[in-house]
């Protein structure tokens, strides 16, 4: 359950790699498959140049509803605002949180608290939290299984039954989702790369919600806190965990 990584100038270690053509992406997948890695290919909704260039808003994005569009834009703006070199997971998790919460704040100010746009943004955030809970349980079960003293071949055979159980567990919670973002997710083919690709974005959401409440539900203060973490030069995940323990925000 370790993500493969690439090393780049400026951004450091990164646990995904993007391409401008589908053909190039599939060629990279083929090479990694040959080396025995699990792989996952997904289409990127958007991307950030971390403030170095102006980031694009594609015409296709304008077909999305206001909640989705504002969430994605704020997610990418978060990367350009605060970015930790070599910390892909942490960067994506705080951007997911900022996108969710920022979209709610923006749409409340624009359309009012009782608008359908705000309701859609709340539903999106709630769905992400439900999904995060299912995903964390699945990854923990898989990690525990891989820790068993059995051969690699046995693990590869046996994990298929675990993947099926994860899909069944997802079916049981489908009724809790209020958007169609995770529609038919239980039909997706699972492997390590697929689960970790999603975990990269959603693992820390509940902790970040606690942080948000601690700062008086003020997103600007939360972002300033992330900037303070960056200025400390410490590993952001460790810094956050220790700080929250000291504040009594987690055990």
pLDDT at 56: 84
Between CA 138 and CA 192 the distance in angstroms is 10
Answer whether residue 11 shows pLDDT above 80. Answer: yes
Write down the pTM of the prediction. 0.94
pLDDT at 137: 95
Answer whether residue 73 shows pLDDT above 90. Answer: yes
Between CA 222 and CA 138 the distance in angstroms is 29
Between CA 121 and CA 105 the distance in angstroms is 9
- In percent, the amount of the chain with pLDDT more than 70 equals 100
How does residue 45 score in pLDDT terms, banded at 50, 70 and 90? confident
How does residue 147 score in pLDDT terms, banded at 50, 70 and 90? very high
- Strands 6-8 and 12-14, by their bridges, are antiparallel
Answer whether residue 138 shows pLDDT above 90. Answer: yes
How does residue 159 score in pLDDT terms, banded at 50, 70 and 90? very high
Q: Which residue has the tokens 């569009």?
A: 69
pLDDT at 183: 87
Residue among 143, 127, 126, 134 at smallest CA distance from 170: 134
Between CA 232 and CA 59 the distance in angstroms is 39
Residue 196 CB neighbour total at 10 angstroms:
21
- In percent, the amount of the chain with pLDDT more than 90 equals 89
Q: Could you please report the per-residue DSSP string of 167-227?
A: HHHHHHHGGG--SSTTTTGGGSPP-HHHHHHHHHHHTTHHHHHHHHHHTTT-HHHHHHHHH
Q: What is the mean pLDDT of residues 29-52?
A: 93
pLDDT at 57: 86
Give residue-wise pLDDT tens across range 197-239.
999 999 999 999 999 999 999 999 999 999 999 999 999 999 9
Give residue-wise pLDDT tens across range 75-120.
999 999 999 999 999 999 999 999 999 999 999 999 999 999 999 9
Q: Which residues of 124-163 are buried (b: 16+ CB within 10 A; e: fewer)?
A: bbebbebbbebbbebbeebeeeeeeeeeeeeeeeebeebb
Answer whether residue 251 shows pLDDT above 90. Answer: no
Residue among 78, 79, 76, 86 at smallest CA distance from 44: 76
Answer whether residue 250 shows pLDDT above 90. Answer: no
Between CA 89 and CA 80 the distance in angstroms is 16
pLDDT at 44: 87
Structure tokens at 157: 């055979």
């Amino acid at each position: 359950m370790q993500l493969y990584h690439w090393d780049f100038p400026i951004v450091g270690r990164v646990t995904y790699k993007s391409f401008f053509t589908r053909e190039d992406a599939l060629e990279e997948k083929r090479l990694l498959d040959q080396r025995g890695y699990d792989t996952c290919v997904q289409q990127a909704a958007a991307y950030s140049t971390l403030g170095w260039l102006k980031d694009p808003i594609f015409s296709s994005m304008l077909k999305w509803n206001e909640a989705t569009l504002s969430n994605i834009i704020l997610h990418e703006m978060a990367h350009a605002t605060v970015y930790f070199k070599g910390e892909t997971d942490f960067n994506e998790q705080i951007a997911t949180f900022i996108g969710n919460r920022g979209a709610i704040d923006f749409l409340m100010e624009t359309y009012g608290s009782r608008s359908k746009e705000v309701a859609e943004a709340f539903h999106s955030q709630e769905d992400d939290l439900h999904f995060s809970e299912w995903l964390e349980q699945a990854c923990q079960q898989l990690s525990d299984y891989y820790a068993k003293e059995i051969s690699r071949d046995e693990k590869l055979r046996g994990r298929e039954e675990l993947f099926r159980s994860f899909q069944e567990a997802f079916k049981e919670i489908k009724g809790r989702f209020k958007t169609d973002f995770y529609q038919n997710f239980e039909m997706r083919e699972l492997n390590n790369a697929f689960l970790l690709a999603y975990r990269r974005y959603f693992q820390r959401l509940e902790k970040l919600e606690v942080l948000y409440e601690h700062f008086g539900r003020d997103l600007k203060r939360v972002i300033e806190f992330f900037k303070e973490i960056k200025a400390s030069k410490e590993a952001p995940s460790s810094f956050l965990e220790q700080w929250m323990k000291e504040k009594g925000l987690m055990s």
